[in-house]
Amino acid sequence: MSGNTITSTAAEATRTAPGAASRRTSLALSGAVRELDLRRGEFELAVQLGYVRTVPGETGGRRVTRAELDRVRGEEDFPDSLRKRVEVMGTRDGAALMGVSPARFTRFARLGLIVPVKWYLNRYQAVVWLYLAEELRQFATGEANAPLLAGRTPQGLRDQLDGGLDLRPRNWRGRHLGFRLRETDDLWAKAAVVASHLDPAQVEETVRDPYERAELYRLRPTQAVPGSPDSPAARIAARITTADDDDEIGWLRADLAQAVVEARRYRPAPGAPSAQPAGPPGGVSARQEPPMRADPTSSRGMFGWLRRGSS
């Protein structure tokens, strides 16, 4: 009698809590941080770089399966090996690691030879760029880079620097775009990621339907910056996160147009009619589809674009 009662109670609990099994086999991100013995920033970077894989949660957000936690914990020399892969450095420490002066290190970064992975504002409202230590080691030990590390900067590169070239914001945007696109499987959310790096006026010119723009703005990821929207910090963040040259803007607008076409096929934006008239040239509509472009998150697409910016 008691065995039947226990079985019945367990079955009833499963019926009343359909997500219980999923919660038992996966953890919220905060729980995964503790399980992997990482700092929050280390964990976030490990997810962005693909070292820790996440899955969509039943009620939104992302989770980490216990199988994935076991896989990561089973790696050799865990957690030190994972911490080494997500270690970041600023200019001074990065220059010391590479055996160059901070000024030379900054020149490398401005030329796009090394790509920042994060940034923040210090108490003086100055931008502090952070780089993956592992990538700096690879650059420093690369045979082809030896002349840059010890010799005089080539004249062509010096001319670009004298002209004010600084690819750090653009390269960070390209890298961040790839991170964000991998965080979601929702096609409208992917389109919103692309739109987040464009000025609102450019989004309006590219996406003519107001309902679709509203969906993009609703799903638009935000950069956490202290202070009010009109604060100096917010203005600096806007300059870093928003595309600012014609080549990059054109790339993003074409990708946004294609992303909206694909998202519309998946599902219409809330409130939008199922079929829309063609908009003016340069906009995207149900009857006007831009040509396919290379995936900006692939190494050949996005980072090829970034390298072209340093040529």
Kindly report, residue by residue over 128-180, the tens digit of the pLDDT: 999 999 999 999 999 999 999 988 889 999 999 999 999 999 999 999 999 99
Whole-number Å distance between alpha carbons of 245 and 81: 39
pLDDT confidence of residue 5: 47
pLDDT confidence of residue 23: 59
Whole-number Å distance between alpha carbons of 70 and 194: 33
Whole-number Å distance between alpha carbons of 123 and 10: 55
Whole-number Å distance between alpha carbons of 179 and 183: 7
Residue 115 has pLDDT above 70, yes or no: yes
Q: What percent of the chain has pLDDT over 90?
A: 68
pLDDT confidence of residue 60: 76
Kindly report, residue by residue over 33-74, the tens digit of the pLDDT: 999 999 999 999 999 999 999 998 888 788 999 999 999 999
pLDDT confidence of residue 20: 52
- Residue 294: pLDDT band (50, 70, 90) is very low
Q: Is the dihedral of CA 220, 296, 63, 270 positive or negative?
A: positive
Lookup: tokens for 58: 């039943």
Residue 300 has pLDDT above 60, yes or no: no
pLDDT confidence of residue 260: 97
Q: Which of 26, 265, 283 is nearest to 274 (CA)?
A: 265
Residue 277 has pLDDT above 90, yes or no: no
* Phi–psi pair at 240, nearest 5 degrees: -75, -40
Residue 299 has pLDDT above 50, yes or no: no
* Phi–psi pair at 154, nearest 5 degrees: -55, 150
Boundaries of every domain in the chain: 26-85, 88-165, 170-309
Lookup: tokens for 178: 């790839």
Average pLDDT of span 86-95 = 97
Question: Cα dist. 20→8, 9, 15, 151 in Å?
Answer: 16, 14, 9, 61
Kindly report, residue by residue over 194-251, the tens digit of the pLDDT: 999 999 999 999 999 999 999 999 999 877 776 677 888 889 999 999 999 999 999 9
Q: ∠ CA(131), CA(135), CA(136), 5° rounding?
A: 75
